[in-house]
């Protein structure tokens, strides 16, 4: 395909990444058709119970800006400026994310954000949406998608110039790419699952805890977190092993739930009137990391967002990474002047190393949040990082800040953090050495 | 299911692992039904062109012995006692595998071995085989398999008590397990592919090279190997990158084939009269490593052999590992007294770490064969290993020997090799230190 004519782009999935990509491709003048297996969330209401709140930060905000949506989205968000650690005895301590009080991650509702973005995408006359259309097969060579209409139960094949799978961690488009020769694929589950719970507003309609923080109950081996919502509730998420002596498997009876929470999250229990009911009725979900490659096939098929690289939620970067994919793909289309074959290959080459890096970071942040966040040593280290950052703001940026408050590509951020850490360690050793020599000299 | 009654075991795949498992389960008194997608090789003749010869060694021989097949199979095999290295100028050097001249790996034809094993399995009245039956779906909960008859094009569902997927690297049974929550899965392709070529007998009907060696043309970055066959041919396999300046992609024209071989494998060219035709007509195949887990679901479904852990062929251990799976599964059934649920879980627990270890070893042996086998340092190291092995035969066993000439579980062999290497290195350093001190003392 050349650069001139208007290609017909099929996007599978009208979730957050699919909807943003539809906006950006719509803006660029492409004909875009989006197929989504679920019903239109603007008609059916938002389905909760299985989605951790989203934390959007600089990367997602930059992408939203390109679609003219950043202000609208931030108006609906709640800024979280640090971690509020809840000790086993219920004591609180606040760890700011940054020396800069304007640096915050922003809690948004996945459902509300999706509605905002679908509305925006539908402003483009060259973008159309079809809901209740589940992609059940993909013909990669044509390319075409086979759709099952949830209302009529009929399937139809629809052909396009490019098919983009934005259909999430269990992508149907990826499942077909999986069958291609030399497609690398890796899915790895954590031994932990998660369950959503809720902290409603207080009796006088206020937030039950500080809304401008991400609340963490780190317990070593497991944890609970809570993020604020605009309706003054908090969505809590318990991350816990599936099996073992302390696990979802071990606590399944009504009588076991309350004793467990009273023993480990005593300060949360009074805030959770529906705790036992929620615990027993809400599903226990698994946490998967998916890596694969290549994400593209000729000028015909590509994967984006969770379909290309599902990550665990512990760095709050899933949606940020997915939105960055959209920005990268649009840049590649521009650089390659609409040559989709080159653009898709370039997009994969550029992004893969960075999404691999954030996948690793997300897993290690789980260990940090559940095991270390409560420790004194960890808090000193974080304080030390903020001190060095304050002294040498141009040179030293803590890793968390590079990931959450900058657009430095993920893999570069990891490299820079390693370099910084080596230098700071060397400097500390030198200072210690000088102190020691001075001490010896002084004694002598 | 209890231990007493005769369960009906469905095995998907009558390849080598499936056929051996059918023998062992048949011997143990189970009702076994085997479904194979290909035609009966005893009727249709053996299809070549895509299978590297097999090298069977102690692990496979032990498993065959349990089925009473070891002698018969070894009669049809050719012992390879070492590597014959072909230099770029055509010079030969022989590296024995072991200080013990009886230690050999045995070249067998996959097709002939399969026929031997199918004949053996059919001796059991409680084992039946169905060919031309492709498994197209699996109902894991029942369990049952859906089979497509290649002759009638009809599908039927067949129910069993246990379904065992012995259906190879692209297992249909595993594909269904893939959809289970919390199934870890990893498939990784090498950047190299392979192509089979042939060295026929000489004009007087003899082997064109020494038949009692595995021939290697290591060229750094790529290589060719050749294994002897009973009909006095050699099956050559060229391992080469798919893409790049020296690759299958770069050499696709008739005019390019001969110059490449003359430049890099000059001594092989006169032995390969069909070289250009074979090169252009034989397929280029990919090399995949598959890891997954768990390999079992309750007392209903299990994976075995390549379906559970496809590995690259460079350690010659694929079939040895698959046969060891069969032995392990039978041991687990015995230990768990026919409780399939416990037996399958135990089988997975016991085997997983070892098949992961051989998967890693197979990849690193590729680097060793293609890059290092030609180097002087490597040959000295191998000689050093043989010397230490000769001096301390009870204590020191080179890794290659533990893998190929012992039944020490793979992961334990890797651990033992690391320990040995550390001790030998420490001893060498000590000897050097003593020599140095003596030298200083002598000079002083």
Contact B241, B82 (CB under 8 A): no
Query: What HEC string does A60-96 produce?
Result: HHHHHHHCCCHHHHHHCCEEECEEEEECCCCCEEEEE
Comparing A5-9, A278-282, B333-337, B426-430, the range with the smallest average pLDDT is A5-9
Beta bridge partners of B188: B289
For residue A167, give the nearest of A9, A305, A22, A363 by alpha carbon.
A305
What does the pLDDT read at residue A267?
Answer: 97
Q: Do A286 and B185 touch (CB under 8 A)?
A: no
Residue A299's pLDDT band, with cuts at 50, 70 and 90, is very high
pLDDT for res B45: 62
Residue A351: CB atoms within 10 Å: 22
CA-CA distance, B362 to B317, in Å (whole number)? 8
Question: Using one digit for the tens of pLDDT, what is the confidence trace for A157-182?
Answer: 999 999 999 999 999 999 999 989 99
At B74-103, the pLDDT tens digits run 999 999 999 999 999 999 999 999 888 889
Q: How many CB atoms lie within 10 A of CB B75?
A: 9
- Closest A-chain CA to B185: A187
pLDDT digits (tens, 9 = 90+) for B149-192: 999 999 999 999 999 999 999 999 999 999 899 999 999 999 99
Q: Which helix (H) or strand (E) holds B303?
A: strand B301-303
pLDDT of residue B390: 85
Do B187 and A186 lie within an 8 Å CB cutoff? yes
- Three-state secondary structure along A154-170? CEEEEECCEEEECCCCC
pLDDT in tens, B256-281: 999 999 999 999 999 999 999 999 99
Level-2 CATH architecture, domain A8-77+108-187+288-366: 3-Layer(bba) Sandwich (3.50)
CB contact under 8 A, A286 and B184: no
Which string of b and e fits B289-327 if b means at least 16 CB within 10 Å? bbbbbbbbbebbbbbbbbbbbbbbbbbbbbbbbbbbbbb
Work out the widest C-alpha separation in chain A, in whole angstroms. Answer: 92
Q: What is the 8-class DSSP label of residue A49?
A: S
Distance, in angstroms, between A340 CA and closest chain B CA? 21
Q: Which of B183, B184, B286 sits opposite A182 (nearest CB)?
A: B286
pLDDT at B239 over 90: yes
**Nearest CA among A103, A101, A99 for reference residue A390:** A99
Query: Smallest CA–CA separation between A411 and chain B, in Å?
Result: 21
Distance from CA of B386 to the nearest CA of A (A): 39
Please tell me the distance from the alpha carbon of residue B289 to that of residue A182, in angstroms, as a whole number: 11
Residue B47: per-residue pLDDT: 52
Beta-bridge mates of residue B32: B9, B127
Q: Does the beta-carbon distance from A188 to B184 stay under 8 Å?
A: yes
CA dist B236 and B240 (Å) reads 13
Between chains, do A184 and B187 touch, taking CB under 8 Å as contact? yes
Q: Do A385 and A99 meet the contact criterion of CB atoms below 8 Å apart? A: no
Contacts of A189 in chain B (CB under 8 A): 181-184
Report the SS3 class of residue B225. strand
CA angle at B20 for the pair B14 and B22, rounded to the nearest 5°: 70
Band of residue A341 on the pLDDT scale cut at 50, 70, 90: very high
- What is the distance between the alpha carbons of residues B341 and B439, in angstroms, rounded to a whole number? 67
- HSE (CB half, 13 Å, CA atoms) of A157? 8
What are residue A163's DSSP bridge partners? A10, A301
Q: What is the DSSP letter of A440?
A: H
Q: What pLDDT shows up at residue B53?
A: 79
Q: How far apart are CA A191 and CA A198, in angstroms?
A: 23
CB contacts, 8 Å: A184 with chain B = 187-189
Enumerate the β-bridge partners of residue A273. none
Helix (H, G, I), strand (E, B) or coil at B147: strand
Residues of A in contact with B290 (CB under 8 A): none
Token pair of B134 as six digits: 């492709």
Q: What is the mean pLDDT of residues B111-130?
A: 95
Option in B187, B242, B286 nearest A185 (CB): B187
Which residue reads 């009529």 in tokens? A152
CA proximity to A307, closest of A327, A284, A288: A288
Contacts with A216 (C-beta within 8 Å, 6 or more apart), sequence order: A83, A84, A85, A86, A223, A224, A225, A369, A373
At B365-411, the pLDDT tens digits run 998 887 776 678 887 888 888 888 888 888 888 999 999 999 999 99
A438: exposed, middle or buried (Cβ count in 10 Å: 0-12, 13-18, 19+): exposed
Q: Which residues of A touch B248 (CB under 8 A)?
A: none
Tell me what the mean pLDDT of segment A116-134 comes to: 96
Whole-angstrom distance, CA of residue A417 vs CA of residue A413: 6
**pLDDT bracket for residue A49 (50, 70, 90):** very low
As a whole-number percent, the residues of chain A with pLDDT over 70 amount to 96
**Using the beta-carbon criterion (under 8 Å), do B185 and A189 form an inter-chain contact?**
no
Q: Which fold has domain B8-78+105-187+288-366?
A: FAD/NAD(P)-binding domain (3.50.50)
pTM: 0.88
Decide: residue B3, CB within 10 A, 0-12 exposed, 13-18 middle, 19+ buried.
Answer: exposed
pLDDT for A47: 52
The position carrying tokens 């086993």 is: A88
pLDDT in tens, A190-242: 999 999 999 999 999 999 999 999 999 999 889 999 999 999 999 999 999 99
Asked if A286 lies within 8 A of B182 by C-beta distance, the reply is yes
Contacts by B328-332 with C-beta closer than 8 Å and gap 24+? B329/B21, B329/B302, B329/B304, B330/B24, B330/B25, B330/B28, B330/B66
Q: Rounded to a whole number, what is the distance in Å from the CA of B438 to chain A's nearest CA?
A: 37
Q: How many CB atoms lie within 10 A of CB B35?
A: 23
First to last CA, chain A: 81
SS3 A269: helix
Q: How confident is the model at residue A256 (pLDDT cuts 50, 70, 90)?
A: very high
- Token duo for residue B43: 């009727």
CB atoms A286 and B181 under 8 Å: yes
| Chain B residues within an 8 Å CB radius of A242 | 182
* pLDDT band (50, 70, 90) for residue B5: low
Amino acid A444: pLDDT? 79
DSSP element (H, E) containing A155: strand A155-159
In which band, very low, low, confident or very high, does the pLDDT at A46 lie, cut at 50, 70 and 90? low
Report residue B51's pLDDT band, with 50, 70 and 90 as the boundaries. Answer: low
Question: B242 contacts in A (CB within 8 Å)?
Answer: 182
Per-residue pLDDT, averaged over B57-75, amounts to: 96
Sheet holding B133-139, edge to edge: B133-139, B144-149, B155-159
Residue B421: pLDDT band by 50, 70, 90 thresholds? Answer: confident
What whole-number distance in Å separates Cα of residue B92 and Cα of residue B405? 25
Rounded CA-CA distance B200/B154 in Å is 42
Q: ∠ at Cα A168 (A163, A170), nearest 5°?
A: 100
| Distance separating alpha carbons of residues B346 and A401, to the nearest angstrom | 46
Q: Determine the residue among A169, A174, A179, A189 to mutate to test chain B binding: the one whose Cβ has the most chain B Cβ atoms within 10 Å.
A: A189
Structure tokens given for A91: 């004591």
Chain-centre distance for alpha carbon A96? 20
What ipTM was estimated for this complex? 0.84
Record: contact A187-B189, CB cut-off 8 A: no
The residues that bridge with B94 in the sheet, in sequence order, are B84
> Angle at the Cα of B195 (from B238 to B97), degrees rounded to 5?
40
* List of chain B residues whose C-beta atoms are within 8 Å of the C-beta of residue A286: 181-182
Which residues of chain A make contact with B286, given a CB cutoff of 8 A?
A: 181-182
- What's chain B's length in residues? 444
Q: Which residues of A touch B (CB under 8 A)?
A: 181-189, 242, 286
Question: Minimal Cα–Cα distance from B346 to chain A, Å?
Answer: 17
Do A11 and A33 meet the contact criterion of CB atoms below 8 Å apart? yes
Distance of alpha carbon B36 from alpha carbon A177, whole angstroms = 26
Rounded to whole angstroms, the Cα distance separating B228 from B234 reads: 4
CB within 8 A of A230, min separation 6: which ones?
Answer: A76, A78, A109, A112
pLDDT in tens, A70-99: 999 999 999 999 999 999 999 999 999 988
Strand partners, B217: B224
Q: How far is A38 from chain B (nearest CA, A)?
A: 20
Q: List the single best residue of B169, B180, B182 to mutate versus A (max A Cβ within 10 A).
A: B182
Residue-wise pLDDT tens digits, A320-337: 999 999 999 999 999 999
């Amino acid at each position: 395909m050349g650069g001139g004519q208007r290609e017909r782009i099929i996007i599978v999935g009208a979730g957050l990444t699919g909807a943003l990509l539809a906006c950006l491709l719509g803006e660029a003048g492409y004909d875009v058709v989006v197929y989504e297996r679920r019903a239109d969330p603007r008609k059916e209401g938002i389905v909760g119970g299985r989605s951790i709140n989203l934390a959007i930060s600089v990367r997602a905000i930059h992408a939203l800006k390109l679609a003219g949506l950043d202000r609208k989205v931030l108006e609906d968000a709640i800024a979280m400026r640090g971690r509020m650690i809840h000790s086993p005895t219920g004591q609180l301590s606040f760890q700011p994310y940054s020396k800069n009080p304007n640096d915050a991650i922003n809690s948004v509702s996945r459902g509300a954000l999706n509605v905002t973005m679908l509305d925006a995408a539908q402003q483009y006359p060259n973008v159309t949406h079809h809901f209740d259309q589940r992609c059940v097969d993909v013909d990669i060579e044509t390319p075409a998608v086979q759709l099952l209409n949830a209302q009529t139960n009929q399937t139809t094949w629809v052909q396009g110039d490019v098919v983009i799978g934005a259909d999430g961690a269990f992508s149907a488009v990826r499942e077909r790419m999986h069958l291609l020769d030399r497609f690398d694929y890796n899915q790895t589950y954590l031994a932990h699952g998660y369950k959503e719970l809720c902290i409603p507003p207080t009796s006088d309609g206020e937030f039950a805890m500080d809304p401008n923080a991400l609340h963490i109950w780190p317990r070593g081996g497991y944890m609970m977190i809570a993020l604020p919502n605009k309706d003054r509730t908090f969505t809590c998420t318990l991350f816990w092993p599936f099996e073992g002596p302390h696990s979802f498997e071990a606590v399944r009876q009504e009588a076991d739930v309350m004793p467990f929470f009273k023993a480990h999250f005593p300060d949360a229990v009074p805030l959770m009137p529906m705790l036992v009911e929620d615990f027993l009725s809400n599903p226990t979900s698994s946490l998967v990391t998916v890596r694969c490659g290549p994400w593209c096939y000729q000028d015909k098929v590509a994967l984006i967002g969770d379909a290309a690289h599902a990550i665990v939620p512990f760095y709050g970067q899933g949606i940020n990474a997915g939105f960055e994919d959209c920005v990268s793909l649009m840049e590649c289309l521009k650089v390659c002047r609409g040559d989709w074959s080159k653009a898709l290959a370039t997009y994969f080459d550029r992004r893969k190393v960075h999404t691999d890096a954030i996948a690793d970071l997300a897993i290690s942040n789980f260990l940090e949040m559940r095991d270390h966040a409560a420790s004194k040593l960890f808090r000193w280290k974080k304080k030390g990082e903020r001190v060095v950052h304050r002294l040498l703001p141009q040179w030293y940026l803590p890793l968390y800040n590079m990931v959450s408050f900058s657009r430095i590509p993920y893999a570069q951020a990891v490299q820079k953090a390693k370099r910084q850490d080596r230098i700071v360690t060397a400097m500390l050793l030198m200072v210690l050495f000088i102190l020691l020599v001075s001490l010896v000299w002084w004694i002598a």
